[in-house]
Amino acid sequence: MATDVFAGVRLARSPVYGTKGMVVSGHSLASTAGLRTLDRGGSLVDAMISTSAVLSVVLQQATSLGGDAFFLYHHAADGKTIGLNATGHAPDGATPEYYKDGIPDRGPNAVSVPGMVRGWERLHQKYGKLPWTELFDDAIDAAEAHPASRVLCAGLDLFRDAVMADPAGRALYFNEAGERMQAGDIMRQPALAETLRKIRDGGSAAYYEGDIAQSIGDYALANGGLIGPDQFAGYEPEWVDPLSTSYRGHDVQVMPPNSYGILMLLQLNGLSALTSDQLADNDTDRLDYLIRAMQGAFTLGQPYVSDPRVVDIPVDRLLGAETTANLQDCVVNGTDPSTFENKGGTSCIVIADGEGNAMSVVQSVFHVFGSAFMDPGTGIMMNNRMTGFRVDPNDPRNVAPRKRPSHTLNPVMVLKDGKPRYLMTTPGGPGQTLSMVQVLSNLVDRGMELTTAIEYPRWSVGLDGSFMLEDGYSEDIANELQKRGHAVKHGSGASYFGSAKTIEVLENGVLTGAADTRREASAVGR
Residues marked as catalytic:
346
3-state secondary structure of 368: coil
Q: Provide the pairing of β-strand 501-505 with 511-515.
A: antiparallel
**Side-chain half-sphere CA neighbours of 209 within 13 A:** 9
Q: Give Rg (Cα) of the chain.
A: 21
Contact 301, 477 (CB under 8 A): no
Q: How far apart are the first and last CA of the chain?
A: 29
Residue 212 amino acid letter = I
Report whether 450 contacts 400 (CB < 8 A). Answer: no
Backbone dihedral angles phi then psi of residue 16, each to the nearest 5 degrees: -110, 135
Query: How many CB atoms within 10 Å of residue 100?
Result: 8
For residue 448, the tally of other CB atoms under 10 A from its CB is 17
* β-sheet bridge partners, residue 250: 247
Question: Residues 256, 259, 263, CA angle at the centre, nearest 5°?
Answer: 80
Q: How many CB atoms lie within 10 A of CB 355?
A: 14
Q: Is 510 exposed, middle or buried (0-12, 13-18, 19+ CB in 10 A)?
A: middle
